[in-house]
Amino acid sequence: GAVVSQHPSWVICKSGTSVKIECRSLDFQATTMFWYRQFPKQSLMLMATSNEGSKATYEQGVEKDKFLINHASLTLSTLTVTSAHPEDSSFYICSARWDRYTDTQYFGPGTRLTVL
Amino acid sequence: AQKVTQAQTEISVVEKEDVTLDCVYETRDTTYYLFWYKQPPSGELVFLIRRNSFDEQNEISGRYSWNFQKSTSSFNFTITASQVVDSAVYFCALSEAGDYKLSFGAGTTVTVRA
């Protein structure tokens, strides 16, 4: 159990375009999902917390207009990188909190974004 | 202030050697949770263990063991008889009660050579 998927696994786009990344909990309902960003050889940095049916909570320094998060259902959260630029190139990872173990997060496989 | 410190950036060992990864945390909460995750080259984080602040009992799972000491705010991880498949980046993380956000350490890259 506790499987989280992400789609796409990798994406290459041109500067100025928008990219949507999906995060799904496959076998459980996730009331809370999290979005992280990881640069090469660095740790994970939390970008935002996404609760189903409400607005996402962004961490300090994360532009909410640039990184749009929607958590429309208990099994799906999406991150849209708007007007992407090369500096947005990174590994984006989502996680979901499984209520049965409320404080344990299960992670998706990540999405590698490259902006040309 | 950094909440989780993993002082070892990289560790390289020969297969079958034991390797211990250090993790020191900082929190003012009395209720908190500590985690270890493994990130192999594929990138996907794999959950290894969760420990709450009231449970200082050490744990062993196969070749993995964890030593939690509140007195020194440490939650160290040992891989016994390491194998090449253990090569990965290992992250220690802290979650404070009611928050559920994870603060990750910088990670320790473990390379096990055959």
Burial class (CB in 10 A: 0-12, 13-18, 19+), B112: buried
- Contact call for A107 and B45, based on CB within 8 A: yes
Single-letter amino acid, residue B64: Y
Spell out the residues 6+ positions from residue B106 whose beta carbon is closer than 8 angstroms to its own.
A42, A43, B5, B6, B9
* Averaged pLDDT, B41-67: 91
Spell out the residues 6+ positions from residue B26 whose beta carbon is closer than 8 angstroms to its own.
B1, B2, B3, B4, B5, B73
* pLDDT value of position B67: 95
Q: pLDDT band for B2, please (50, 70, 90 cuts).
A: low
Cα four-point dihedral sign B101, A64, A113, A109: positive
| Percentage helix, strand, coil for chain A under 3-state DSSP, each rounded to 5 | 5, 55, 40
* DSSP output for A12-32: EE-TT--EEEEEEESSS-EEE
Residue B2: its chain A contacts at CB < 8 A? none
CB A99 within 8 A of CB A29: yes
Chain B residue with Cα closest to A93: B44
Q: Residue B39 forms beta bridges with which residues?
A: B89
Q: Is B1 a residue whose pLDDT tops 60? A: no
Which among A91, A103, A112 has CB closest to B100? A103
Q: Is B22 a residue whose pLDDT tops 70? A: yes
Q: Per residue in A57-95, pLDDT tens?
A: 999 999 999 999 998 888 999 999 999 999 999 999 999
* Averaged pLDDT, A92-111: 84
**Distance to chain A for B1, nearest Cα, Å:** 14
Q: Is A99 a residue whose pLDDT tops 70? A: no
Top pLDDT among B29 and B12 is at: B12
* Averaged pLDDT, A7-15: 96
- Contact call for A43 and B107, based on CB within 8 A: yes
* pLDDT value of position B98: 72
Q: Per residue in A22-52, pLDDT tens?
A: 999 998 888 789 999 999 989 999 999 988 8
Q: Most B CBs within 10 Å: which of A105, A106, A111, A112, as the mutation test of the B interface?
A: A105
* pLDDT value of position B58: 86
* pLDDT value of position B57: 85
- Contact call for A43 and B35, based on CB within 8 A: no
* DSSP output for B57-85: --EEETTEEEEEEGGGTEEEEEESS--GG
Chain A residue with Cα closest to B92: A43
Q: Is A112 a residue whose pLDDT tops 70? A: yes
- Contact call for A110 and B44, based on CB within 8 A: yes
Q: Is A98 a residue whose pLDDT tops 80? A: no
Closest to A71 in 3D by CA, of A95, A44, A92: A95
CB A69 within 8 A of CB A86: no
* pLDDT value of position A1: 63
Rounded to the nearest integer, the mean pLDDT of chain A is 91
* pLDDT value of position A101: 58
Cis peptide bond upstream of A8, omega within 30: yes
